Structure 1
Amino acid sequence: MGWVITLVVVSIAIMLIAFLVLKQKGRESEDRGSAAVDFSANLALAVYLLVLAYAAVLCRDGLSVTETDVKAEAETLTEMYWSVAPIPEAEQVRSQIRQYTAQTINLDWPLMARGEMSPAATKTLEDLRSATIRLRPIGEENKALQQEALTRASEISHARGIRSSDASEGLESIFVISMILSGLLVIVLPWTLGVRPTRASMFADLVRVAVVVIGVCFIILISHPFSGIGAVEPEALRAAEQHYDHIDNQFPSQP
């Protein structure tokens, strides 16, 4: 949000300064060179719209991929819970799966908006894998379930790494810089003629500034998968917690 507020304030300041300068020193009209300026402004507008559209597609795809990754992580946690549920000795592992899921929702998610992850959840996942390795199940069937649970634990660790990478990345700065530069050219080029503003020209200037600022702000607000508009929420993990209760009904905890 800081970027958005700064961009809006700077854009308004530039527009007001331009209006004041042109109001005091601008000429009544200027035809010479207007065709070249119009061509340059239109070219800058085309570049701006192209970068804006491409950035919007990248952001939308990034949000979709991140949401799919979160759903896959929640599904893997549920499958691991299914794997250890029939093992009588795995009560601690079941508890740690629940703890890790809760910490991911309550601790990871607020931090991921800043590109960080909770060390407490990381520690719980490490303890979860260690507890699964230390299981000594009786019977071949339970041993096979333990191996499956270990595979799932490895997949969860991998999914956490992907989520951490998603949280620390966003839209590449080159796109934002390109949009801002091309947008500034769209706004400023008509003012280079030095023509004194009229009501009609001021309205056109307001429209240009609004289009550029709204476009850049929109991209900034959707550029991170865990913050802003359309941010990915931990709904899949909350659904996994409900599945744990269903599994407990099928395989009640044993002391």
Structure 2
Amino acid sequence: MSSKNSFYSIAHQVNKPENISKVLPYYSGLEIDIAYSASKKQWVVAHHDFNNTKHYSLEDWLTSFKQLYSKRKSKLSILWLDIKTLDDNNIKDMLSTINKHIPKNISIIYDLGRPLNIINKNFSYKNIINNLREIDGIGCWITKEDLNLVSKVKNQLITDKVKNTIISYGEVVDIDLEVLYKLCEINKNLQSPFSKVFVWNIQYIEEIDELIAWQEISGMIIGYKKQMWNDRCLDQLKYLNDLKVKFNRNTPTTF
């Protein structure tokens, strides 16, 4: 695990392979949306409209990622998978595709959405925990209404012997800082806290300096709401990196 002063900057929705090369030199991780497409009969990289045949397949995306990653000097350490079709019976195909193509030193975060998908041992969750590598992790995201489930979901992960655990909060644009602070306070008081706490912070807020300085936050997912990744994210990243230097938060190369 990285040190507490490490800070991860995750590029949001890098769903198009042509954008991979833009983020590799700058981000410590990138996030993509994946789902099973009934029309293509394979996993695709898509946020919605999964049966649109124009979506890239997960295999093609990972192939491009692996090729670009091997050619560039990159501090990237995380690939964050936002899984949109958790109940699909083809989850084993997804895991097989990932294991076939992912570089050995890249950690996978399997984002299973809301806490009940873990607490209720969703079909996908059970398959994923049986295929985790040592460097991989499982995560979920919460809203204000889910704060009472934080302890319960962590206990389930402990029961299932998941080592790297991630919890994230954020309404993408409308972040309630009181909820974020409450989440971190709850996590800090757990007997076995979550390994990492992330915030989905697509648009910067005045309190960004405080969040960067605050050691309870492990990183941010950076991008734009309901838009694919674009060049403006680099402007946000530059500002973020300046703050990381200011508050002595380093860029991790491992999870």
TM tier relative to shorter chain: under 0.3
Q: State the TM-score, normalized to the length of structure 1.
A: 0.21
The structure that is helix-richer by fraction is 1
Q: State the TM-score, normalized to the length of structure 2.
A: 0.21
Please identify the structure whose Cα radius of gyration is greater. 1
The structure that is strand-richer by fraction is 2
**Larger RCO (CA within 8 A; separation ≥ 6):** 1
